[in-house]
Structures are given as C-alpha cells and as structure tokens.
C-alpha cells in the first residue's frame, strides 16, 4: 500500500500543483470517482502481476494491450520513466538550491541516496516507502487539518454542482504508467490475493481523503494561489518559518520517492537480462541521467508531460476494459 502511495505522491501532488490543475471548484464527485478508479486500476495491475508472478511490467502490458502493441509501449514506458526520473533529479537539485546548496551538489546528493537504496534490492524499495510515506502522509494531513480548523469556517461541499467530474479520468491516467511499472515489478512478492484487495482499497481511500481535504483547502484560498508556484506555500503563509522548512523537506522526500519509483521501474525491466546487482544498475542509469538535468525542472515538465498524457489514457482504457476482455476470452 505504501509502495503505491509512494509512486503517486510525488512533488507535483505534495505541492498541490497537480490537484489544483486537475480539480479545484466543483470537484468532490471527481475526487470520489478518482479514488474508485484508482483502486480498481491497482487491483487489476496487481492481480495480473500475482497471477503471472511478474518481476517487470512487460508481461502485464501483454495482458492489457496484446503482444504487438506491448512492444511499442514497452519502449515508450522506458522513455517515460527515464525522462520523469531526470525531471525529479533536476527537481531535487532545484529544491536544495533554495537552501543555498549548489545545484549540482543537490543532484549528486539525490543520486547517491538512490544508489544506496538499491543495495537492498526490491526490499530496499518496499522498506523505504513503508518508512517514509507514513511520515509524509501524516505531516501533510496535519498541516491540512490545522489549516481547515483555523482558517475555514465551514467545509463547503455542494453536491448539486459537480461539473468537473471528467477530471477523475485524466487525473487517474496521469498516475497509471508509473503504477504499471512499479507494481508489476513486485508481482512475485505478493503472497495472497487478499493483500491485493487491502492495498488497492487502502491506497484509494487514503489518496481520496487527502485529495478532498487538500482541494477544499486550496479552494478557500483560490485568489492567493496564482501568486505562488507551489500552492502548498499559500497554505503555509499563515504558519511560522519552521513549518515552511518542514514542508520543503517533505517536498524533497516526495521528489526522492518518485525518482526511486522511476529507477526501480527501469532496472526491474532489465534485471533478468543482466547479472549486475540492483545498485550497480541504478548507478549506471543515474550517471547517464545526470547530464540531462542541465535542461532544468520546469522546462522538462512543460515539454515532456503533455506528450505522455495520451499514452496514459490509452493504458487506463485498457485496464478498465481488462475484466470484460478476460470474461470474453473465457466464454
């Protein structure tokens, strides 16, 4: 469950930027739908992984979209994971640069921690998320609850006006590719079918709850958000500098977990083709990525993310149709 949350709660989500871009006004129904769709997608991906005992995403792709199409999407997913990890490395360097740490030292710091993580193979990835993500979620919830209590007289929900419900599909699609890559890599780690149900429903409920609370908090300060590149800091302006510092560290941790998910997705794809240990594979991959961070965080996001939107929607459609396709094959 924490592996799923760690894959989704990246810098874009934790900062509030993704939520404000996709949701905002009239989005309660959209967030509820997102929570349901997300849980369903996690269940389908992990069920295939459990059945096939997968160690990477290619067998899951073949089940979802067929052998021919999976070859093309295999390459696209590698490019997606590679480029988004480069974005996170650049973001890690940029975040530490705000604390007057030289940009390249910041990038080297996050790269070193990523290589160290994979000394423990798959267990390192799972254990890191199990330790870090609860802290990240608790801190985020604490700040949001405190803001709701002190600065919101009421929690406005108007169920009659929910015109933004289609955003549930685009926001779910945004998170699909990394989910496929990461969850498929631990298919052989799942022991019981019940684990899939608990992890799917649990992660959907937690993400839905945080998203609703976060979105309603942002709506209450909608006029101020345009002044901030990171919406979370619009909420934190009412708090002492200590909290700004704490949440800046939280954002860096979110960047780190997203980068770890990207690296994990790529090296797990090739681990049956080489005898190199995980840590060495990650070191080689990250050394290739480092020079590309020179393009900068915002530039990489602006160019790459829209391209992958269509790819994500196609995979989402395949996952939603999977149960019906499986039933058709049986009959």
pLDDT digits (tens, 9 = 90+) for 253-300: 888 998 999 999 999 998 888 888 989 999 999 999 998 887 755 555
Tens digits of residue pLDDT in 2-41: 999 988 888 788 888 888 888 888 888 999 999 999 999 9
- Model confidence pLDDT, tens digit, residues 164-184: 888 899 889 888 888 999 999
Rounded to whole angstroms, the Cα distance separating 181 from 187 reads 11
- 259 contacts 85 by C-beta, under 8 angstroms: yes
The pLDDT tens digits of the residues spanning 112-124 come to 999 999 998 888 8
CB-facing half-sphere around the CA of 83: CA atoms within 13 A: 19
Which of the two residues, 52 and 229, has the higher pLDDT score? 52
Spatial distance between the Cα atoms of 82 and 327, rounded to a whole number of angstroms: 35
pLDDT for 133-155, tens place per residue?
A: 898 889 889 888 888 887 766 66
The whole-chain average pLDDT of the chain stands at 86
Q: Is the pLDDT of residue 323 over 60?
A: yes
pLDDT mean over 98-103: 82
Higher pLDDT: 35 or 99? It is: 35
């Amino acid at each position: 469950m924490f592996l799923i949350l760690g894959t989704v709660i990246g810098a874009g989500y934790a900062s509030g930027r993704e939520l404000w871009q996709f949701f905002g006004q009239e989005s309660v129904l959209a967030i509820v739908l997102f929570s349901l769709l997300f849980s369903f997608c996690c269940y389908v991906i992990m069920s295939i992984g459990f059945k096939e005992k997968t160690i990477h995403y290619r067998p899951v792709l073949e089940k979802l979209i067929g052998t021919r199409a999976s070859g093309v999407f295999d390459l696209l997913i590698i490019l997606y994971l590679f480029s988004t990890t480069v974005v996170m490395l650049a973001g890690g360097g940029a975040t530490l640069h705000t604390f007057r740490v030289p940009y390249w030292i910041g990038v080297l710091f996050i790269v070193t921690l990523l290589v160290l993580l994979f000394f423990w193979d798959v267990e390192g990835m799972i254990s890191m998320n199990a330790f870090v993500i609860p802290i990240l979620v608790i801190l985020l919830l604490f700040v949001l609850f405190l803001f709701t209590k002190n600065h919101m007289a009421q929690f406005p929900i108007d169920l009659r006006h929910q015109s933004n419900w289609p955003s549930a599909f685009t926001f779910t699609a945004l998170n699909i590719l990394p989910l496929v890559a990461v969850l498929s890599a631990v298919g052989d780690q799942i022991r019981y079918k019940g684990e899939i149900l608990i992890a799917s429903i649990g992660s959907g409920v937690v993400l839905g709850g945080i998203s609703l609370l976060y979105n309603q908090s942002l709506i209450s300060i909608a006029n101020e958000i345009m002044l901030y590149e990171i919406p979370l800091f619009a909420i934190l302006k009412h708090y002492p500098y200590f909290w700004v510092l704490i949440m800046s560290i939280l954002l860096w941790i979110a960047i780190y977990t997203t980068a770890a998910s990207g690296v994990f997705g790529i090296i797990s794809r090739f681990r049956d083709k080489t005898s190199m240990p995980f840590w060495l594979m990650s070191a080689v991959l990250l050394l290739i990525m480092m020079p590309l961070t020179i393009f900068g965080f915002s530039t990489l996001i602006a160019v790459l993310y829209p391209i992958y939107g269509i790819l994500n929607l196609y995979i989402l459609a395949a996952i939603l149709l999977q149960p019906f396709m499986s039933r058709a094959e049986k009959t």
